[in-house]
Amino acid sequence: MHCSAPLGSRSPRLTRKRLLLATSWFVFAGGCGPGVATPMPEPPSLIDPTLLGAPEITPAVASPGFVDIAGRPGAAPPNATVRVTNLDGQDLPYSTTAYPDGHFLVSVAAADGNELRFEWLTADQRSAPSDVLFLQPGSASFSLQPSPRFDCVELSPGFVLDFATTAADTVPLQIKNQCASALSIGAVTLRRGSPDFAPVSDAVGAFPPGSVATITVAHTATSANAAEDTLFVSLSQGGTVIRYPITLSARP
């Protein structure tokens, strides 16, 4: 039996941050050998952009304006729901179900330059978002490129804010400037304009290195159903402007 070493994760040093599959392994005491369990990977913490691309076999009939995107085996947990949100539109997320080996095929309305958000969900888990740019400059083929992010910016709690489903709730988003110079926060908007969510305070303007800006988002349930939207926060530094999409989610 061959024992594999644990896989690590890495991040590029420049502004385009590639989110790689984080996989952890466990072994029973005693190492490799007869009677020792084979290391088993945990579900991926997010959908690895390097496992996404065009399907090997193109469907015979394609819907106008739609593109088929495939996830290779291991891209999602077995039988998980895979959701893709076009962050440059107002449509609800497109969804499909992963096969037992984790591969999937999803049809998405997308145009050149659109930013797509990939996530998987199970009965009790939700992955971190994985964001890519859909690039299709005047040709039938396309490529997916990790969305740009500032390496020196830290979000807490991250790219997803969870809210209570049936009660009024507020959740802060903290933006920590770990850069060598000031950052500026521009427009703070909602992708779909859901009445369930509203930024009740924002930190529009510049904030210096080492400081933290806080944007507080309020949720007021308009029904007992789940609600979701995306908060867009515009960050700029030295003439570079990057949009940060934050999923706002109130689920039962």
Which CATH architecture describes the domain 1-149?
Sandwich (2.60)
Instruction: Please give the share of the chain, as a percent, with pLDDT higher than 70.
Output: 77
pTM of the model: 0.80
Instruction: Supply the DSSP string of 21-89, one letter for each residue.
Output: --------TT-SSTTPPPP-PPPPSS--GGGEE--SS--SS--TTEEEEEE-TTSS-TT-EEEEEETTS
- 42 vs 223: CA distance, rounded Å: 36
pLDDT at 136 over 70: yes
pLDDT per residue as tens digits for the range 159-199: 999 998 777 889 999 999 999 999 999 989 999 999 999 98
Q: Beta 94-97 vs 197-201: how paired, if at all? A: unpaired
Task: Quickly state the pLDDT bin for 8 (edges 50, 70, 90).
Answer: very low
User: Where in the chain is CATH 2.60.40.10?
Assistant: 1-149, 153-250
Task: Quickly state the pLDDT bin for 138 (edges 50, 70, 90).
Answer: confident
Task: Quickly state the pLDDT bin for 65 (edges 50, 70, 90).
Answer: confident
- 153-250 CATH, one of 3.65.10.10, 2.70.150.10, 2.60.40.10, 3.40.50.970: 2.60.40.10
Q: Beta 160-162 vs 240-250: how paired, if at all? A: parallel
Mean predicted confidence (pLDDT) in 43-60:
80
pLDDT per residue as tens digits for the range 89-99: 999 999 999 99
pLDDT at 70 over 90: yes
What sign results for the dihedral spanned by CA atoms 243, 50, 83, 171?
negative
What pLDDT sits at residue 247? 96
What pLDDT sits at residue 222? 77
- 105 vs 3: CA distance, rounded Å: 31
pLDDT at 37 over 80: no
Mean predicted confidence (pLDDT) in 65-80:
95
pLDDT per residue as tens digits for the range 143-164: 999 999 999 999 999 999 999 8
